[in-house]
Structure 1
Amino acid sequence: MSFVSLRGIKKTYGKGENAFVVLKGVDLDIQKGDFIALMGPSGSGKSTLSNILGCLDDADSGVYDFCGVNVCDLSFGEKARLRRNYFGFIFQSFNLLSKTTALENVELPLIYKGLKKKERRELAMIALQKVGLERWANHSSAELSGGQQQRVAIARALAISPVFLIADEPTGNLDTQRSIEIMEILQGLNQNEGITILMVTHESDMASYASREIHFLDGKIQREVKR
């Protein structure tokens, strides 16, 4: 059984003449330990698919099986618990609180899990150590470079020990050297810790770090490249 299995996933935004079909019956299997780069032009459906995989959006129809559970049948609250306990998210814009320290930013998802302060701090520091930022734990986001901010965002995603990491254009706001640093971190998490990763990207050089490339066009999977 696949770690993740999608069958006939469809999604339309708008109604009537304004309707835009984003996903046109997507089938995809993801195995545990995969590192997938989801690629395609703007509007091809890749970000919508990643949002559905992360339970941030709902499919109109189809089956989304996650570890034997049909996510499409879950309630809003059940999907929230699934996100909170199993998924880590990394965004292009970092989404950090600017006046809050790196450590406090990483603690945020642990607060939502209801962990006590001491345990939160310990887990947040471990996550910062994994991305090489423990010395910057007490610096605010505004005091960090773009690359450091993205590493804090990765640490925040790692704090809950996710089994599935979803990254949407994680290097989109970074220069080449910082992008390489981020990709090496992600590749290490995949290869050394076995975290399954799905990354949305426009950049073929960043996609080369993944073990699979899934190319999207007009709401469908056009082709796949395996390494």
Structure 2
Amino acid sequence: MEQKYVIELHKATKFYGEGEAKTFALQGVDLQVAHGEFLAVMGPSGSGKSTTMNIIGCLDTPSSGNYLFEGVDVGALSRDQRALLRRNYIGFIFQGFNLLGKTTAVENVELPLLYRGFNAEQRYEMAMEALRSVGLESVANHTPAELSGGQQQRVAIARAIATKPIVLLADEPTGNLDTAKSIEIMELLQSFNREKGITIIMVTHEMEMAKYASRTVHFRDGGIDEGYEKKVPL
């Protein structure tokens, strides 16, 4: 039976240091994300949203509490097992694109497929399929320097979805783009969510971008502001 929630945080805390130097980044966060949901995460710097995303992306672990991915307690996994979970089930999109400058678009998209063990022919076919899905098949052999900012972000999205992840984590995906390109990227993400059923969790500072999500949570002082959705309906 499929889990109702793909992501579950139960009383998750994260602290650094000991004694009087102990500092809490998260303080007992409870969060559930359903399959196929598009969640926007907002909040000021230092509110805990980035720490939460790092935990969800298996880049960090909570100091206490539990993180479940598809019902599996991630905290009980080894470092290698968490790396496999991240590699096989989670895609990442970053504000800065993070493309390799001297390689072509298709080669950039192939990179995570290389780590998954696909052969050269499989990698190329899967990468081209991903580029087609973002409308960039015609520039597959162009380097990032030959692409606009919006096109570079589309390549980054293609790279993130090439492995067919269950969850897509997007960290300020429109932060380096103008309004028109930002809308294009958000419409693209929204289409992947609605048509492919990919669960998306997106950090953003922009309310206009958050409106593309089906739900918004707001972090403040290491926790979720439970009244936020009532105060600011989307």
TM range (shorter): over 0.9
CA change 1:23–1:137 in 2 (3 A) is same
**AA matched with 1:43:** G
Q: Given the alignment of the two structures, is residue 13 of structure 1 paired with residue 16 of structure 2, yes or no?
A: yes
State the Cα distance separating 1:142 from its structure 2 match: 1.3
Match of 1:123 among 118, 121, 126: 126
Query: Residue 183 of structure 2: which of 164, 180, 184 is its match?
Result: 180
Query: For 1:54, which of 54, 57, 62 is the aligned residue?
Result: 57
CA offsets per residue over residues 50-78 of structure 1, 9 Å max, x none?
11001011111111111110001100000
Alignment deviations for residues 156-186 of structure 1 (CA, whole Å, 9 cap, x no partner): 0000000100000000111111100000000
Matched, 1:89 2:92: yes
CA distance in structure 2 between the partners assigned to 1:9 and 1:120 by the alignment: 37
| Cα distance in 2, alignment partners of residues 15 and 88 from structure 1 | 34
Q: Which residue of 1 aligns with 2:102?
A: 99
- For residue 13 of structure 1, report the CA deviation from its aligned partner: 2.8
Q: Which amino acid aligns with 1:27?
A: D
In 2, distance between residues paired with 1:168 and 1:18? 29
Secondary structure of the corresponding residue to residue 148 of structure 1 = helix
Which whole-Å deviations, capped at 9, do the CAs of 1:120-146 have from their partners, x for residues lacking one? 000000000111111010000111111
Which residue of the partner structure matches residue 160 of structure 1?
163
The residue aligned with 2:143 is 140
Task: Give the match for residue 30 of structure 1.
Answer: 33
* Residues matched between the structures, number: 227
CA distance in 1 between partners of 2:117 and 2:171 (Å): 27
Gaps of 5+ in 1: none
Alpha-carbon shift at residue 192 of structure 1 (Å): 0.6
How far has the Cα of 1:17 moved from its partner? 4.5
1:110 aligns with 2:113: yes
How many Å separate the matches in 2 of 1:142 and 1:18?
Answer: 45
State which of 199, 206, 214 in structure 2 corresponds to 1:196: 199
Name 1:149's counterpart in structure 2: 152
**Structure 2: gaps of 5 or more residues:** none
Question: Residue 172 of structure 2 aligns with which residue?
Answer: 169
1:43 matches 2:13: no
Partner of 1:216: 219
Q: Cα offset for 1:4?
A: 1.5
Flag the 1:94–1:18 CA change in 2: closer, same or farther, 3 A: farther
Distance 1:47 1:27 in 2: 15
Query: 1:19: how far off?
Result: 3.3
* Distance of 2:185 and 2:209 partners within structure 1: 10
Amino acid at match of 2:223: K
The TM-score normalised by the length of structure 2 is 0.94
Q: Distance in 1 between matches of 2:167 and 2:46?
A: 24
Cα separation, 2, equivalents of 1:102 and 1:41: 34
